[in-house]
């Protein structure tokens, strides 16, 4: 009887999880259209709406956003209570936590004329092992409340090592070798003693009743409490009405499982408990002994054995090594340590290496770092086009790795990079020198293909700018010679030409050159940007005028304009909303209402640059569609961004495993979507 009851409860839990996923999809799909179209009306791109109409649109968008937040809170709480939320523990630096708090709330404090103080204990460890996303969710809720209920004074955020303060009999905190306290203090309205015991319950608020001054659902603190228990900690409150409140989150430094803080309800007794994080073998590295000025290499590799080999070789070369086994950790470590070089595997558990490379090359803080790709031969050109320093083919020999480290080390040591400009027009050559020139680059110019060939064989260059029209040989012929010379094969070449290219010529060039810039209105900015990428220039060291040129270029729609994007969604409202948004940014939008139609369209329509793929569709869902698209070699590197309601655990991983390049949750934040598309289409 017990076994039958357990099986029945497990089945009920499964159905509850599926209901949550479907309900999330059904609620968020119409919201997606409301928010996207509402934002477009607010922007009023045609300028034909009155001020009052724009205000109406703003109200619609704001109401839709409030509804989305309520739906998200209810679903979050339901998923936690049903036991379908898992903890994905990983190392997160406390510096990254503080930076995120500063980034997300400094502008809130400034807009409300409140003080905002962030402090950290000097005895803190460098990092904690917990679920980064859930920790950020708790802190965001606590800080949002602090600012909401504070009209004057300040809000403080402090991180420290705690020796006490939590419930003395707490089963995990009392045994934890180290406990970290995240403390949020405000000078707001405070909470009466009789309310302090109930505000952590769902839909309960300190400011309740029909005449309440403050809005909200009363779910935020209930979610915080449940998430804190999930992470093996707890939240404590001290408050004085009229003076303010302090909420303190206590967490073990290393996640060791959820807190069994209360007797589970009978319907939960047979349910699968919260899963522990996947065991990721740690590779001890040098991050704790790095001093300022040390040459550092970041090794991004999910195979611990291979990571240890790379780490050993790096140390042999006199480099300090840091190991990241996930893409998101790699991006965080790159920003924190500013390594001299990065070795990057393409197949990582959480995202493709191409995604990591794209983010690195779009961030001015990390764009200059040479990235050594570890990939397959057929992907070589793709990596080099996206700004990789070099590539290696697995399996790699020790001699090959040793040579690669030596090459990166030599390149990183050189403060001045070498550029060769090949153009038969002396005025154009001089203009390029003035555009690109600075103390960090040495520029040599020649007017013929023969001179260029002799120079490239005589000395090493880091990048070449090449015009196709030369007086002796064509640029095509010179490019073919370079491709046939193994020592020059990976030399980055930017074709800078005024020649109208046929489709065949452009295809041919793409196999030999890293980039093509057509001389025109925005060509100076493009040329500066492309050469800066391949010379691995530190953008922040350039003159302000050149920095401004690059910033303007990256903020424009140049990466999106005239590109064909395929939107795959079974809901015509979503297609309509996304089409309107993308056409405003000069994109050509095609649509398909199911997976089979999308595959047929890719086969019959040339030059589709990107696919936006809905996941939940009848017949063939987004996962199956992406797998089928990726099975075709010609679509192997096509950027596919998955759009999903993000209801179930593992959605993101399933999207990436099925072949998605990246992932965004519904309802789609338009700026986030456009930013993601620029990252993938910029190259």
Q: Please, are residues 324 and 350 in contact by the beta-carbon 8 Å criterion?
A: no
Confidence of residue 332 (pLDDT cuts 50, 70, 90): confident
Cα separation of 379 and 396, whole Å? 16
What pLDDT, on a 0 to 100 scale, did the predictor assign at position 162?
94
Helix (H) or strand (E) holding 611: strand 608-614
Looking at per-residue pLDDT, the higher value among 528 and 656 belongs to 528
Mean per-residue pLDDT for 351-366?
80
What pLDDT, on a 0 to 100 scale, did the predictor assign at position 659?
84
What pLDDT, on a 0 to 100 scale, did the predictor assign at position 426?
92
Cα separation of 670 and 41, whole Å? 13
Reply yes or no on whether the pLDDT at 279 is more than 70: no
Q: Which of 361, 297, 352, 365 has the alpha carbon at shortest distance from 326?
A: 352
Confidence of residue 383 (pLDDT cuts 50, 70, 90): low
Reply yes or no on whether the pLDDT at 584 is more than 50: yes
Kindly report each contact of residues 390-393 with a partner whose C-beta sits within 8 Å and lies 24 or more positions away, as own/partner. Answer: 390/490, 391/490
Contacts of 190 (CB under 8 A, 6+ apart): 239, 240, 241, 242, 243, 244, 245
Q: Of 64-73, 96-105, 334-343, 351-360, give the lowest mean pLDDT range.
A: 64-73
Digit-coded pLDDT (tens) for 539-553: 888 899 888 888 777
Q: Where are the alpha helices (DSSP H) in 178-326?
A: 193-196, 220-230, 304-316
Cα separation of 571 and 11, whole Å? 30
Reply yes or no on whether the pLDDT at 255 is more than 50: yes
Reply yes or no on whether the pLDDT at 215 is more than 60: no
Cα separation of 176 and 130, whole Å? 13
Q: Is 553 helix (H, G, I), strand (E, B) or coil?
A: helix
Mean per-residue pLDDT for 326-353?
84
What pLDDT, on a 0 to 100 scale, did the predictor assign at position 376?
57
Q: Of 149-158, 278-287, 357-366, give the lowest mean pLDDT range.
A: 278-287
Reply yes or no on whether the pLDDT at 201 is more than 70: no
Q: In this structure, what token pair is assigned to residue 169?
A: 């009999």
Cα separation of 40 and 57, whole Å? 9
What pLDDT, on a 0 to 100 scale, did the predictor assign at position 309?
87
Give the mean pLDDT of the chain: 81
Reply yes or no on whether the pLDDT at 275 is more than 50: no
Q: Of 84-88, 382-386, 404-408, 490-494, give the lowest mean pLDDT range.
A: 382-386
Confidence of residue 217 (pLDDT cuts 50, 70, 90): very low
Q: Please, are residues 181 and 246 in contact by the beta-carbon 8 Å criterion?
A: no
Most confident of 46-50, 118-122, 217-221, 289-293: 118-122
Q: Where are the alpha helices (DSSP H) in 463-571?
A: 475-484, 503-510, 523-534, 544-555
- State the CB neighbour count (10 A cutoff) for residue 21: 21
Reply yes or no on whether the pLDDT at 570 is more than 50: yes
Reply yes or no on whether the pLDDT at 277 is more than 60: no
Confidence of residue 131 (pLDDT cuts 50, 70, 90): confident
Looking at per-residue pLDDT, the higher value among 200 and 17 belongs to 200
Cα separation of 405 and 372, whole Å? 9
What pLDDT, on a 0 to 100 scale, did the predictor assign at position 379?
56
What pLDDT, on a 0 to 100 scale, did the predictor assign at position 146?
92
Reply yes or no on whether the pLDDT at 260 is more than 70: no
Mean per-residue pLDDT for 11-40?
72
Most confident of 70-79, 429-438, 509-518: 429-438
Digit-coded pLDDT (tens) for 227-237: 898 899 999 99
Mean per-residue pLDDT for 159-183?
92
What pLDDT, on a 0 to 100 scale, did the predictor assign at position 384?
60
Mean per-residue pLDDT for 336-346?
88
Cα separation of 345 and 325, whole Å? 9
Q: Please, are residues 557 and 584 in contact by the beta-carbon 8 Å criterion?
A: no
Q: Which of 163, 145, 276, 288 has the alpha carbon at shortest distance from 223?
A: 145
What pLDDT, on a 0 to 100 scale, did the predictor assign at position 205?
47
Reply yes or no on whether the pLDDT at 647 is more than 50: no
What pLDDT, on a 0 to 100 scale, did the predictor assign at position 437?
92
Confidence of residue 646 (pLDDT cuts 50, 70, 90): low
% of the chain beyond a pLDDT of 90: 25
Confidence of residue 210 (pLDDT cuts 50, 70, 90): very low
Q: How far is CA 115 from CA 101, 186, 518, in A?
A: 14, 10, 51
Looking at per-residue pLDDT, the higher value among 274 and 43 belongs to 43
Residues 660, 661, 665, 668: what is their CA dihedral angle, to the nearest 10 degrees? -120
Mean per-residue pLDDT for 242-250?
92
% of the chain beyond a pLDDT of 70: 84
Q: Of 23-32, 289-298, 602-611, give the lowest mean pLDDT range.
A: 23-32
Reply yes or no on whether the pLDDT at 86 is more than 80: no
Digit-coded pLDDT (tens) for 450-501: 999 999 999 989 999 999 889 998 889 999 999 888 888 878 888 888 877 7
Cα separation of 357 and 679, whole Å? 10
- State the CB neighbour count (10 A cutoff) for residue 131: 21
What pLDDT, on a 0 to 100 scale, did the predictor assign at position 232?
92
Q: Of 75-84, 91-100, 506-515, 524-533, give the lowest mean pLDDT range.
A: 75-84
Strand order in the sheet with 234-240: 115-120, 154-162, 179-186, 244-252, 234-240
Digit-coded pLDDT (tens) for 405-421: 888 777 777 789 999 99
């Amino acid at each position: 009887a017990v076994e039958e009851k357990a099986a029945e409860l497990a089945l009920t839990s499964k159905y509850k999880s599926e209901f949550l996923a479907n309900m999330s999809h059904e609620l968020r799909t119409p919201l997606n259209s409301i928010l996207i179209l509402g934002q477009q009306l607010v922007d009023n791109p045609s300028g034909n709406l009155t001020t009052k109409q724009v205000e109406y649109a703003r109200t619609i968008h704001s109401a839709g956003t409030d509804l989305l937040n309520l739906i998200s809170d209810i679903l979050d709480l339901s998923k936690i209570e049903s036991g379908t939320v898992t903890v994905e523990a990983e190392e997160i630096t406390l510096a990254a936590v503080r930076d995120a708090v500063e980034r997300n709330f400094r502008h809130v404090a400034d807009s409300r004329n409140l003080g905002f103080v962030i402090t950290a204990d000097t005895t803190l460890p460098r990092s904690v092992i917990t679920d980064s996303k859930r920790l950020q969710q708790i802190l965001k809720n606590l800080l949002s409340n602090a600012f909401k209920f504070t009209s004057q004074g300040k809000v403080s955020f402090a991180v420290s090592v705690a020796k006490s303060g939590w419930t003395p009999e707490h089963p995990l905190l009392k045994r934890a070798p180290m406990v970290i306290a995240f403390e949020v203090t405000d000078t707001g309205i405070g909470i009466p003693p009789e309310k302090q015991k109930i505000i952590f319950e769902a839909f309960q608020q300190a400011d309740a009743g029909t005449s309440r001054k403050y809005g909200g659902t009363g779910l935020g603190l209930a979610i915080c409490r449940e998430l804190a228990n999930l992470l093996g900690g707890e939240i404590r409150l001290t408050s004085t009405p009229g003076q303010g409140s302090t909420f303190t989150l206590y967490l073990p430094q290393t996640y060791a499982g959820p807190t069994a803080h209360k007797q589970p309800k009978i319907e939960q007794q047979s349910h699968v408990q919260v899963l522990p994080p996947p065991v990721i073998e740690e590779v001890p590295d040098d991050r704790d002994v790095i001093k300022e000025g040390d040459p550092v290499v970041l090794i991004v590799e999910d195979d611990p054995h291979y990571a240890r080999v790379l780490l050993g070789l790096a140390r042999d070369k006199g480099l300090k090594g840091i190991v990241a086994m996930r893409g998101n950790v790699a991006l965080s470590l790159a920003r924190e340590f500013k390594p001299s070089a990065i070795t990057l595997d393409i197949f990582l558990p959480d995202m493709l290496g191409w995604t990591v490379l794209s983010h690195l090359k779009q961030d001015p803080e990390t764009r200059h770092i040479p990235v050594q790709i570890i990939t397959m031969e057929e992907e070589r050109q793709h990596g080099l086009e996206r700004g990789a320093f070099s590539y290696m083919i697995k399996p790699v020999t020790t001699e090959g790795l040793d040579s690669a480290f030596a090459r990166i080390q030599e390149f990183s040591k050189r403060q001045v990079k070498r550029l060769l400009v090949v153009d038969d027009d002396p005025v154009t050559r001089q203009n390029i020198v003035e555009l690109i020139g600075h103390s960090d680059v040495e520029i040599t110019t020649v007017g013929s293909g023969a001179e260029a060939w002799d120079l490239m064989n005589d000395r090493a260059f880091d990048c070449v700018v090449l015009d196709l029209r030369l007086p002796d040989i064509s640029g095509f012929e010179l490019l073919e010679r370079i491709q046939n010379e193994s020592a020059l094969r990976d030399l980055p070449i930017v074709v800078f030409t005024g020649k109208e290219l046929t489709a065949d010529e452009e295809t041919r060039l793409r196999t030999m050159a890293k980039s093509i810039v057509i001389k025109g209105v925005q060509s100076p900015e493009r040329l500066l940007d492309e050469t800066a990428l391949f010379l691995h220039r530190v953008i922040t060291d350039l003159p302000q005028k050149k920095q401004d040129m690059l910033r303007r270029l990256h903020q424009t729609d140049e990466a999106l304009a005239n590109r064909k994007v395929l939107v795959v969604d079974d809901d015509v409202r979503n297609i309509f909303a996304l089409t309107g948004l993308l056409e405003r940014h000069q994109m050509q939008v095609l649509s398909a209402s199911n997976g089979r139609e999308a595959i047929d369209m890719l086969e019959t329509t040339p030059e589709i640059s990107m696919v936006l793929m809905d996941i939940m569709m009848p017949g063939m869902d987004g996962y199956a569609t992406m797998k089928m698209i990726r099975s075709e070699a010609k679509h192997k590197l096509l950027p596919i961004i998955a759009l999903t309601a993000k209801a179930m655990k593992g959605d993101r991983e399933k999207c990436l495993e099925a072949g998605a390049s990246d992932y965004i949750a519904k309802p789609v934040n338009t700026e986030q979507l456009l930013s993601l598309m620029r990252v993938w289409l910029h190259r």
